[in-house]
Amino acid sequence: MIRMENIRKHYLLGEVTLPILKGVSLHIPSSEFVAIMGPSGSGKSTLLNIIGCLDAANEGTYHLDTIAVTDLVDDELSTLRRSKLGFVFQMFNLIPRISALRNVELPLVYAGVAPQERTKRALRALEMVELADRAGHVPAQLSGGQQQRVAIARALVNEPAVIIADEPTGSLDSVVAREIMDLFTGLHSQGKTIIMVTHEEDIAGYAQRILRLRDGRLERDDKR
């Protein structure tokens, strides 16, 4: 599913090159639930962004299925994101002024799905997160947990193979966090590949496998 060889990433801060990832190689098979952990600055978010095709590596190869992601240009990455990937962010990242339903429809808009089909699929996705009755609400009218569930519905609506989650419970209290993680567990049991960054051990405990990064390198790979 996901195969990375010697991925390197650095940022330029003026004249100084700041290395973030110093050669990461990993393989994540289909339908795995993976947590990426590590102290801040270890490069876990950068690694997740590269896996999610939001950022590009400077060196190394990355294959998603059979696609050589490192060869793709901007618009091809967009196509890849909308066909294979679903995103869940720490800050939910819903568009503030439009309804939950419209937010969930958005990936389908860019995928060119017809309007009626869009609404049908968006409602189905909202049902999966048990928020169909809040379809008409704008984000501000929803609680944090509800907003994150809308975001998960949005991530699911394209029926992606991989869910990319960047600290999905980071802004939620522990009760709501558990609800969200139960949702992820459910998705995983349906065969989704889930790759999640977290810094909380108990949240990482929901995953099958924990990748630990330190200082830009893969330090440990625990499978259960």
Residues that bind other proteins (CB under 8 A): 3, 49, 52, 54-55, 63, 65-68, 71-72, 74-76, 78-83, 87, 89, 93-95, 97-98, 106-107, 109-112, 115, 154, 158
- 86 vs 145 by CB, closer to other proteins: 86
Q: Burial code of 81-99, b = ≥16 C-beta within 10 A, e = fewer?
A: bbebbbbbbbebbbeeeeb
Taking the least distance from each CB to other proteins, the nearer of 97 and 224 is: 97
**Helix H or strand E encompassing 47:** helix 44-51
Closest CB to other proteins among residues 86, 210: 86
- The nearest distance, CB 120 to other proteins, in angstroms, is 16
CB of 96 to other proteins, least distance (A): 8
Q: Which of 61, 137, 146 is nearest to 102 (CA)?
A: 137
Q: Which is nearer to other proteins, 51 or 210 (CB)?
A: 51
Give CA torsion, residues 83, 89, 92, 98, to 10 deg: -30
Would you state the structure tokens that stand for residue 48, as one six-digit string?
A: 């997740």
Backbone angles phi and psi of 115, in degrees to 5: -50, -50
- Closest CB to other proteins among residues 94, 210: 94
Least distance between other proteins and beta carbon 172 (Å): 19
The distance of closest approach from Cβ of residue 109 to other proteins in the complex, given in angstroms and rounded to an integer, is 5
**Min. distance of Cβ 60 from other proteins in angstroms?**
14
CB of 24 to other proteins, least distance (A): 17
Report the DSSP pairing between strands 16-28 and 59-64.
unpaired
Q: 208-219 burial by CB neighbour count: b if 16+ within 10 A, else e?
A: ebbbbbeebebe
Q: Which is nearer to other proteins, 3 or 178 (CB)?
A: 3
**Three-class SS of residue 174?**
helix
Q: Which is nearer to other proteins, 9 or 206 (CB)?
A: 9
Burial of 194 (0-12, 13-18, 19+ CB in 10 A): buried
- CA–CA distances in Å: residue 70 to residues 44, 125, 177: 19, 31, 34
Q: How far is the CB of 211 from other proteins (least distance, A)?
A: 20
